[in-house]
Structure formats: C-alpha cells, structure tokens
Amino acid sequence: MVTCAFRLANVSELSRRRRSVFLPSSNSRKIVGKSGLSQEMWLFGRKGPSGFSSASTAEEVTNGIDASGLTAIVTGATSGIGSETARVLALRGVHVVMGVRNMVAGKEVKETIVKQIPAAKVDAMELDLSSLASVRKFASEFTSSGRPLNILINNAGVMAPPFKLSQDNIELQFATNHLGHFLLANLLLDTMKKTARETKREGRIVNVSSEAHRISYEEGIRFDKLNDREEYKRWGAYGQSKLANVLHANELARRLKDEGANITANSLHPGVITTNLFRHLGVFEGMVSTLGRLVLKNVQQGASTTCYVALRPELKGVSGEYFSDNNLAKASAKAADTDLAKKLWQFSLDLIKK
C-alpha cells in the first residue's frame, strides 16, 4: 500500500529543495553502494545494472524464481502494491501472511489470489500498525502459531493526512509508517533468526520507504517536536516517517551483521503509483488518478522493487542498502547518518516501552 505521491503533490517545494532527485540527467551517474554493487541513475525505462528498470513488473523481476518453502509477512496487503506483492510472492510459492487492518478486505484479497493461483498459500491476520497493542497481538499470535518466517515486508502506511495522534498518542504518520513496523520487526526477530538457523536460508527484512525521505523536516527527525500540532506539516511529517524507514533498515542491518545473524535489512522507493494513499488530498486525488494513468507507474510496476529485494538470489548478503526501480540507489545524506540512525533506534525503543 505504501508509495510516494510527493513528486506530484508538492511540485513547488520539490523544485526548490530536491529537483535533481526526481529529474536525473540523461547521462548516468555511477555510484558504488556499501555492498559493492554498482548503481546508476537511470532515466525513465532504461535498464540498470540489474537488467531491470522502472518499467519492470513484479512478475518480471521474479520470473524463474522458486520460493517454495518460504514464509513471508506483508503488511498493508489489502490494496495497491501491498496486494500485488502478496499475489506475486504467492505465485512464486511463498506462503504469504497478510497483516491487514480490515479483515473483510483481507479475506477478499485472499480469495482473489487463490482464484487466480489455486495452489497459493495465503492467510490474513488482523494488524493495525498505528496501534502498538495491535502489533503486539499480531506478533504474539504469529509466534504462537509455530510458523517459520523468512521474509518480513514492512509495506503498510498512511500519507499526508491532517494532524492526528494515534491510540498511543504519537503523531499518526510516524506511528503507522515507522514505529509500528519497528516494533513488529523487533518482536519477530527471534522467529526469523530461528528460521534462518534451522533452514540455513537467509532471512530478509524489507522496508518500503520513499524518495520523499529527502524532504523530511530540516532536522531530519523531530525528536522533541514529534507531536507538535502547531508546527506539523503533513508532507514534512510524511518525509520524516519515510526517512525513519531507511534509518531503521540501516541500523537494523548493522546490528544483525554484528550479531552474525543470517538476515538482511534493506529499504526501497517503490516509485510513484496512484493508490488510495491519495485519499487525504481532496480534489487533487482526482487529478492524480487521471494523470496517473498516463505518467505514473501501475501497481504491477510499483510492487516490483519490493519483490526484487525480497526474492532475487543475487542480493544474498546485501544489507543496509537502498533500492529504486529494481536497482541499487543512493539515499540522502541524512539517511546515511549512522548517529541519527542510532538515536532513532533508542528513541523508538523508549516509545514502545511506554
């Protein structure tokens, strides 16, 4: 469900602050990531070093992959790229557990997938990422089921709503997009480590972020003003939550490496897709929906980078990286700030302990 609409929704600020992020030159600029993979800025549908591009679909990037025997949790799987991610993983043999807020919608998605793929293994479990109690209940029930867990895809989210606090009195976008997933990953880590040890197969944690992580508040994360209604800016808060997704994946990758755990953690930008995340934008929603058919990614393309990072065998051992359009990409300087990542980790731990 999570995607980035920022490019269209805030064009003037985009031009002022991060124009080069969204309008790369026709000449590719090569970068080498932490894992040694080469990356280039690719214009439109031109293929990158991986052999895929922004136009590649989730089915295309997973073609030929047999993921039988793997179990994955996908949050926010009732619509948009979340449901497409669940469908394609199931198509490749993964047992998919959809973490969904609306169980009626979850059941409908499950029935649709099974109708298309009779052999699909799909389950739906209730999960509201904006509620820490709901996250704890989901994790407890999943752990009690005895299921293994190979892949955790943190996909659910909200985008640019008016100011609101969660049930736990935390700004809604930060609570849903970051903190709920932070707690979920922490609670499921032991299960993932056990699965990786017993199966000798690498576990993968995938945070669906956004290029909007580049337009967070000036200080990056507003630790002291998280719930400040007067200074709340819906796009700044959205960018803050997406920056937190990248920082979380990076710090988690560092900790897992230090532990010697056979689990990777990465983040990604799915592209700009018209989904129900636009529901808070009023009249702009209709304009985006109309224009989106012409210039934005479709859902099949939007889910591709998530599926690429979750399943591609050549990414074995690649951790703490940021991906876009099915290729390695370069996140912002703030996203690469290890001190900020450590501070966010401790801040998040303190919040979930309250």
Q: Is the pLDDT of residue 137 over 90?
A: yes
In which band, very low, low, confident or very high, does the pLDDT at 31 lie, cut at 50, 70 and 90?
very low
Q: Is the pLDDT of residue 79 over 50?
A: yes
pLDDT at site 61: 98
Distance CA 135, CA 141 (A): 10
Helix (H, G, I), strand (E, B) or coil at 261: coil
**Residues 6 or more apart whose Cβ sits within 8 Å of residue 82:** 1, 2, 74, 75, 76, 98, 155, 156, 303
Dist. CA 54–CA 312, nearest whole Å: 16
- Tens of pLDDT, residues 45-58: 789 999 999 999 99
Q: Look at the block and give the residue holding tokens 């999570």.
A: 2
Q: Supply the pLDDT for residue 275.
A: 54
Section 332-354 average pLDDT: 97
% of residues, the chain, pLDDT over 70? 81
Q: Quote the pLDDT of residue 22.
A: 31
What is each CA distance from 299 to 19, 135, 209, 271, 312, in whole angstroms?
A: 25, 26, 16, 10, 19
> Alpha-carbon distance 123 to 136, whole Å?
18
With CA atoms as reference, report the closest residue to 46 among 236, 325, 262: 325
Whole-prediction pTM value? Answer: 0.87
Side chain identity at 185, as an amino acid letter? Answer: A
pLDDT band at residue 354 under the 50/70/90 scheme: confident
Mean pLDDT of the chain: 88
The residue with greater pLDDT, 177 or 31, is 177
Q: What is the mean pLDDT of residues 101-107?
A: 98
As given in the structure block, the two tokens for residue 313 are: 């065998």
Residue at token pair 């993968």: 204
Task: Give the per-residue pLDDT at 346.
Answer: 98
Residue 15 clears pLDDT 50, i.e. is over it: no
Task: State the pLDDT at residue 55.
Answer: 96
Number of Cβ within a 10 Å radius of residue 118 = 7
Question: pLDDT tens digits for 1-11?
Answer: 334 433 333 33
In b/e form, how buried is each residue of 134-168, taking b as 16+ CB within 10 angstroms?
bbeebbeebeeeeebbbbbbbbbbbbbbebeebee
In this prediction, residues 156-175 reach a mean pLDDT of 98
Could you report the per-residue pLDDT of 280-293, keeping only the tens digit for each?
445 444 544 445 45
Which class for 225: exposed (0-12), middle (13-18), buried (19 or more C-beta within 10 A)? middle
**How far is residue 113's CA from residue 116's CA, in Å, rounded to a whole number?**
5
Amino acid letter, 332: S
Summarised one tens digit per residue, pLDDT across range 189-210 is 999 999 999 999 999 999 999 9
Give the Cβ contact number of residue 40 at 10 Å: 18
Residue 189 is predicted with a pLDDT of 98
Is residue 106 very low, low, confident or very high in pLDDT (cuts 50, 70, 90)?
very high
pLDDT of residue 10: 39
> 3-class secondary structure for 149-215?
CCEEEECCCCCCCCCCECCCCCEHHHHHHHHHHHHHHHHHHHHHHHHHHHHCCCEEEEEECCHHHHH
Q: Which positions are catalytic?
A: 232
Q: What percentage of the chain exceeds 90 in pLDDT? A: 80
234: confidence class by pLDDT, cuts 50, 70, 90: very high
**What pLDDT shows up at residue 163?**
98
Please give the average per-residue pLDDT across 91-113, as a whole number. Answer: 98
